[in-house]
Amino acid sequence: MVLGLASAALARGVPTLVVDIDPQADATLGLDITAEITTNVATVMGASRRNAQKVNVVPSGWASSGGTLDVLPGSHDMAALDRPTGSERTLARLSHAIHQLEGYQLVLIDCPPSLGTITRSGLAASQRALVVSEPALFSVTAADRALHAIDEVRRNIAPTLQPLGVVVNRYRERSPEHRYRLQELSDMFGPLVLGPSIRERSALQQAQGASQPIHRWPGAPAQELAHAFDAHLARVLRANTRGRRPAPAEGGPVRAEASPA
């Protein structure tokens, strides 16, 4: 989901930073980084405030022909930082790091599917939280847990955090099971279930395998996916306009956290 939103933001000319806190670091791989990485998210989040690291971002290869799309790269070392709980100081480290960075209208934080310290840190640094669910039984129950976790973080750490909604990923319209689970999600969460669903298309895997944005991938299926991500990006940007925190004159970033349930 984060790669699709980043592709839409680049196509729209929105200066964007992607923060990859998933220990798998798939977003970092997909964003075609060729520059030397001197700082990754593990070194930033693993340091105490006294020994805080300077945050250095790198450009995505997607922006080589124009636009701003930068990355705070992920690292497999993040797995060692993921615990069931974390202190408020620990959970605030990512937010402090992001506040060092300027010049972005949108900050996208790619989280792991677990709800430990890493994901809660991403939530604490966010203004809006987007839950990504597949149309399957276990994913539906995980989406419910994710929304409860968002509410917990909002009440205890980040009072301005709000759920943006739930997006269904890898959806097949012809599958009775997928249609049933989509209806189940709609019955459970009502207007929090956001359309359009992201259809399962091989074009998405092909674009990601080639480290290319979906907006540049040829073919009608890729265009369909690009339009879906455009719609979700527009919703993210509208949400920032309605619920903006006090910010500098230029308006401050949207921090949208993607949490695949």
Number of compact structural domains in the chain: 1
DSSP 8-state assignment for residue 32? T
Residue 256: predicted pLDDT: 58
Residue 35: predicted pLDDT: 84
Which tens digits make up the pLDDT trace of 14-42?
A: 999 999 999 999 999 999 998 888 888 99
CATH number at residue 109: 3.40.50.300
- Tell me how crowded residue 51 is: count the other CB atoms within 10 A of its CB: 7
Asked if residue 125 lies in contact with residue 34, where contact means CB atoms within 8 angstroms, the answer is no
Residue type, 236: V
Neighbouring-strand partners of residue 108: 18, 256
Asked if residue 161 lies in contact with residue 154, where contact means CB atoms within 8 angstroms, the answer is yes
What length does the chain have? 261
DSSP 8-state assignment for residue 113? S
> Burial letters for 71-99: b for 16+ Cβ neighbours within 10 Å, e otherwise?
bbbbbeebeebbeeebeeebbbbbbebbe
Residue 254: predicted pLDDT: 52
What does the mean pLDDT of the chain come to? 87
For residue 114, give its domain range: 2-260
Highest mean pLDDT among 70-84, 92-106, 121-135: 121-135
pTM of this prediction? 0.89
Selection from 103, 87, 107, 85 nearest residue 41 by Cα: 107
